[in-house]
Amino acid sequence: MTWRVSDLAELVELEEQVGSWWHRFITRRSETRYPEAAVRLEEIQHLLGIWFRALGGDGALEVAGADASEMNVRRSLLQKVAGTQRRFHLAWLDDNALRLPPRIDAFPERALNRDLYLWLAALAAGAQALPSAPWFQHNQQLTLAALEHWPGLWEKYQALVRAHLQQRPHPARLPADERAQEEAIRAALIEPGSRARLPPAGRPPAPVPLWLHPNPPVSQAMSASEPATDPEANRSPAQQLETVPRKSAEEADQPESDRGLITVRMENIFSWGEHVHVDRGTEDEENDQRADEVARDLDRISITRHGKAAKTRLKFDLDLPSESEDDQVLNDGILLPEWHWKQRRLIPNHCRAVELVAADAEPVPLPERLKKTATRLRNQFQALAPARIWYKARPDGAEVDLDAYLRYRTDRAGGCRVAADNLYREMRAGARDLACLLLADLSLSTDTWIDDHHRVLDVIQDSLYLFAESLAATGDRFGIYGFSSRKRDPIRIHRIKHFDERYGGRVRGRIAALKPGYYTRLGAGIRFATRVLETQGAGRRLLLILTDGKPNDLDQYEGRYGIEDTRHAVRAARNLGFHPFCVTIDEKGNDYLPHLFGTNGYVVIRNPAELPAELPLLYARLTAE
């Protein structure tokens, strides 16, 4: 029998189609999911954040998706054939976020799936207030506390328990040790606090989606006593996988890079899906485009140390401008403290802020595209300027002060010997007892494009132009600074306009010369701005912070550390009588800014293109209060 190439191709295509049919069939039979009733985390993520914090949850924690965890639970033959029921999405808390399943479709009713999200957030809200205990006891304590504090959740909890018990394995079909374990879990769900301990068994029990994770993935921290030889290799600055959930990590031995894959025994190939020790040799320059996909698939990430510096460090350091091309350094810098939230203490002299200025920036006129808006804003802001008033009884002036002169003549006529001074008056413009410092985030994220024609930095530059034009019309004292960081030394502070400097073409030239910097050590930037404001003697001092994202940097200044340091800096500024206010274009700003600035201390601009026109009007509202 003769086979043609086309016949073989048809057979291969048929085999793939039959395999796809079989996979869908066996998966449906083995899975107990209800995709038609699914609720996705992104649908109610904002609501869950408000709900979690309203019930007493930590305001510094965001609501994020949790990765699936592999569990060696008992499976039926059908589930083993289909390869299902091995990975489960459960909820847990870590230092940075409340991690919830990205999708819940466990129940046939959509309302129940949504209520499970609300219940998990309520359960986690009290987790930090209770002392740590074994998983079985701890979740019962959390359940009792939630139902005691919020009795309205009782009916929802009962409905979730009834629906979940129908899906759990029947105790009669389990071995004796697993049967006792299952019965204890069922009793604890029905009557929380009724069981003190979980009986031991040869296998872990079936997951309990109504409880928090029994063994949540926690990253293994690098030992502080054994720093890596190359500190820049700890993190890739080119890409931040914000959507990759928290992973469990382990430290592995560094394999010999010259051995390659040829030494791997062929029978080990089939175990690669479970565990891989791959030596991405430090001299390799391979493409890492699929790194984010690999990170999402792995439950545990193995890392190792070595004494070699990767070549990618050279690529990153090329971002540093040469001294001849960089802004002019004005001073050796000032030392600033930083708040260590885990140690609960302020570390003195931990950061160094260096002030720079674009000395070679040529004076430029206001961009043509902004002239119409600037004219409208100037006209509006001139109404905020205090009216011109007469200053009387002056030693000199443009006119005679008739009231003072009449008093002088009357006193002399009555025999009083008075001096002939302070007999004039002059008209001067009034002044508001106000000083404002605008601190702009110039981190690398400002190089992001918001549409086909504008970057975030372009929007920030236009905002600074219009802000300066508006405040110049009022006569208010103001300064403009930008900042970025590359770890704690140095914090780059770009002086755009000092308080004692007149606004004009040179200031506009510095705005036009702004370039994206590095990272956002926001706490240090606020502390520097606070020190500048302290030198201003105004009765009211406003600190406007313009940013596009969370605090972050190359070192430990990520997540909770950066959030808490920024919060401490904001509170310190308020204690000095200043008024810090944040303006952000970060769509997720509502998740973390209330913890930093309070509910009335920030605003989120949804459309970045509206920022230039909105910023001056926002200033007008803040100073009119």
> So what's the pLDDT on residue 359?
81
Average pLDDT for 500-504: 92
Sign of the CA dihedral running 80, 82, 83, 89? negative
CATH of segment(s) 330-382+433-624: 3.40.50.410
| pLDDT band per the 50, 70, 90 thresholds, residue 519 | very high
Q: What's the one-letter identity of residue 81?
A: V
How far CA 158 is from CA of 138, 152, 170, 537, 556, in Å, comes to: 19, 11, 19, 62, 43
CA angle 326, 501, 380 (to 5 degrees): 115
What is the structure's pLDDT at 137? 93
Residue 425 has pLDDT above 60, yes or no: yes
Query: Six-digit token pair at 127?
Result: 């987790």
Q: Judge residue 67's burial from the number of C-beta atoms within 10 Å of its C-beta, 0-12 exposed, 13-18 middle, 19 or more buried.
A: buried
Closest CA to 216 of 115, 92, 342, 340: 92
Express each pLDDT in 12-28 by its tens digit: 677 777 767 655 665 56
Q: What is the pLDDT of residues 223-236, one digit of tens each?
A: 333 333 333 333 33
Please name every residue paired with 438 in a beta bridge, in sequence order, or none if there are none.
480, 544
Rounded to the nearest 10 degrees, the angle between the axes of helix 456-474 and helix 611-624 is 40
pLDDT of residue 22: 59
Task: Write out pLDDT tens, residues 190-227.
Answer: 999 999 899 998 888 989 999 999 988 764 433 333 33
Give the relative orientation of helices 589-597 and 559-575 as an angle to the nearest 10 degrees: 40
Higher pLDDT, 551 or 391: 551
CB 430 within 8 A of CB 388: yes
Average pLDDT over residues 58-83: 78
Instruction: Say which range, 160-164, 239-243, 392-396, 492-496, has the weakest mean pLDDT.
Output: 239-243
Asked whether the predicted pLDDT for residue 502 surpasses 80, the reply is yes
Question: Is the pLDDT confidence value at 419 over 60?
Answer: yes
Tell me if 444 sits within 8 A of 417, measured CB to CB.
Answer: no
DSSP notation for 160-212 = HHHHHHTTSPPGGGS-HHHHHHHHHHHHHHHSTTS-S-PPP-SSPPPP-TTSB
pLDDT at 294 over 90: no
DSSP H or E run through 386:
none
Q: What is the pLDDT of residue 3?
A: 57
pLDDT at 281 over 70: no
Q: Which residues contact 570 (CB under 8 A, 6 or more apart)?
A: 526, 580, 596, 597, 601
Percent of the chain whose pLDDT exceeds 90? 45
pLDDT digits (tens, 9 = 90+) for 443-463: 999 998 888 888 999 999 999
Q: Report, as an integer, the average pLDDT of 140-154.
A: 94
The span from the CA of 414 to the CA of 604, in Å, is 68
Q: What is the DSSP string of 290-354?
A: THHHHHHH-SEEEE---SPPPTHHHHHHTTSPPTTTSPEE-SS-EEEEEEETTTTEEEEEEEEEE
In angstroms, rounded to a whole number, what is the distance separating the alpha carbons of residues 115 and 386? 56
Q: At what angle do helices 135-149 and 110-125 cross, to 10 degrees?
A: 100
DSSP state of 133: -
CA dihedral 359, 366, 383, 580 (to 10 degrees): -50
Q: What is the pLDDT of residue 71?
A: 81
Q: Are 121 and 57 in contact (CB under 8 A)?
A: yes
Q: State the CB neighbour count (10 A cutoff) for residue 42.
A: 10
What confidence score (pLDDT) does residue 160 get?
95
**Residue 284 pLDDT greater than 50, yes or no:** no
- What is the distance between the alpha carbons of residues 245 and 69, in angstroms, rounded to a whole number? 11
Give helix then strand counts, H and E, for the chain.
17, 21
Q: What pLDDT is recorded for position 230?
A: 39
Mean pLDDT of 569-588: 94
Q: Indicate the domain borders of the chain.
A: 11-190, 330-382+433-624, 388-429
Percentage with pLDDT > 70 across the chain? 74
Query: Rounded to an integer, what distance in angstroms lies between the CA atom of residue 334 and that of residue 490?
Result: 10
Residue 122: φ, ψ to 5°? -65, -40
| pLDDT given at position 25 | 63
Summary mean pLDDT of the chain: 80
- Least reliable range by pLDDT among 223-227, 390-394, 430-434, 603-607: 223-227
d(CA 64, CA 92): 10
pLDDT digits (tens, 9 = 90+) for 248-280: 555 555 555 444 444 444 444 444 444 444 444
pLDDT (0 to 100) of residue 317 = 45
* Full-model pTM: 0.72
Neighbour tally for 325: CB within 10 Å: 8
Mean pLDDT over residues 234-248, rounded? 44
Residues 520-547, mean pLDDT to the nearest whole number:
94
Q: So what's the pLDDT on residue 408?
A: 83
159-185 tens-digit pLDDT: 999 999 998 889 988 899 999 999 999
Question: Has residue 506 got a pLDDT over 90?
Answer: yes
pLDDT at 307: 54
* Continuous segment of H or E residues that includes residue 143: helix 135-149
Q: What is the pLDDT of residues 319-371, one digit of tens each?
A: 555 555 566 677 788 999 999 998 999 999 999 999 999 888 899 999 999 99
